[in-house]
Amino acid sequence: MNTSRDVALTALAPVIWGSTYLVTSEWLPPDRPFTTAFLRVLPAGVLLTLFTRHLPARADRWRLGVLAALNIWLFQALLFVAAYRLPGGLAAVLGAIQPLLVMLLAWGVDRHAPSPYSVGACVLGVVGMAVLLLSPQTVWEPLGIAAAIAGAACMAAGTYFGCRWRMDMPVLALTGWQLLIGGAMLAPVAWLVDTPLPKLTVLQVSAYAYLSLAGALLAYASWFRGITRLPPVAVASLGLLSPLTALLLGWIVLGQSMSSTAMVGLVLVLASILALQLTATRGR
């Protein structure tokens, strides 16, 4: 098994997701988090289920529903609530707790106590993200922060149970059904809560298409492939690449400054990801 290739392909997902904050804040109509989440996942789910034409086994359907609710419905809704209310960096840094949450689930459910080395690597990642993105000028919007933390918890649970259950389905079919079910769950929320979309510009349509085709179809296919091949902590640790990408895009595209302190944080986060990958794959 080519572990390095599996890690690289799985890492593609959080790198793409890191661009969500920039796209949402700069190119989408404001204050429509649930509509944006719905338009991101449902078209990709329809395309993949039609392409794969694979029905899930009866015994797996309830598990598929749980994973769709955690990975798509709740996570995407909370992600865009946070993205609309918080700076991209702050929204992303709160997701750095995902590897720790996955370890707690493995400990609580499977009685797999994490090694001190793994816990230390997770803490190092959280500290690195804090150094990278937090400052005295940061605006702490309570609802946005609560949404970001809850979204991280949902994604951690979805990653853990996806690794634990290992359903016998092709990756594209598994991805398509989760996106389709999650999108169907988002539809009534978007209809009831968000205001209708205005007439969209070509740029806005392109932004929605990017979020769906790259941010949902491609990214989730890469992520779920990694879940079937890598340990859950190894997968969750790669989620730290999302805030790093958000930070780098803000620096490159929006001209946001990056201090020497932020560079130290960058090194700490990369060291945390590397340490967790080495620990998890050796443990496997």
Neighbour tally for 206: CB within 10 Å: 13
What pLDDT does 158 receive?
A: 92
Two tokens at 44? 């990709």
Could you report the per-residue pLDDT of 128-169, keeping only the tens digit for each?
A: 777 766 655 556 678 888 888 898 899 889 988 988 887 889
pLDDT band (50, 70, 90) for residue 66: very high
Distances from the Cα of 205 to the Cαs of 4, 78, 214, in angstroms?
A: 36, 22, 14
Least confident of 13-17, 44-48, 158-162, 241-245: 241-245
Cα gap 48→25, rounded to integer Å: 28
Taking every pair of Cα atoms in the chain, the longest distance, rounded to a whole number of angstroms, is 54
Q: Is the pLDDT of residue 88 over 60?
A: no
222-234 tens-digit pLDDT: 999 998 888 888 8
User: 63 is written with which tokens?
Assistant: 């598990």
Statement: residue 22 has pLDDT above 80: yes
The predicted-structure confidence for 246-282, as pLDDT tens digits, reads as follows 778 877 887 766 667 777 777 887 788 888 777 766 6
How big is the chain by its Cα radius of gyration, in Å? Answer: 18
Instruction: Give the mean pLDDT of 57-83.
Output: 91
Judge contact between 109 and 156, C-beta under 8 A: no
CA atoms within 13 A on the CB side of 210: 17
Buried b (16+ CB within 10 A) or exposed e, 58-75: eebeebbbbbbbbbbbbb
Q: What does the pLDDT read at residue 104?
A: 83
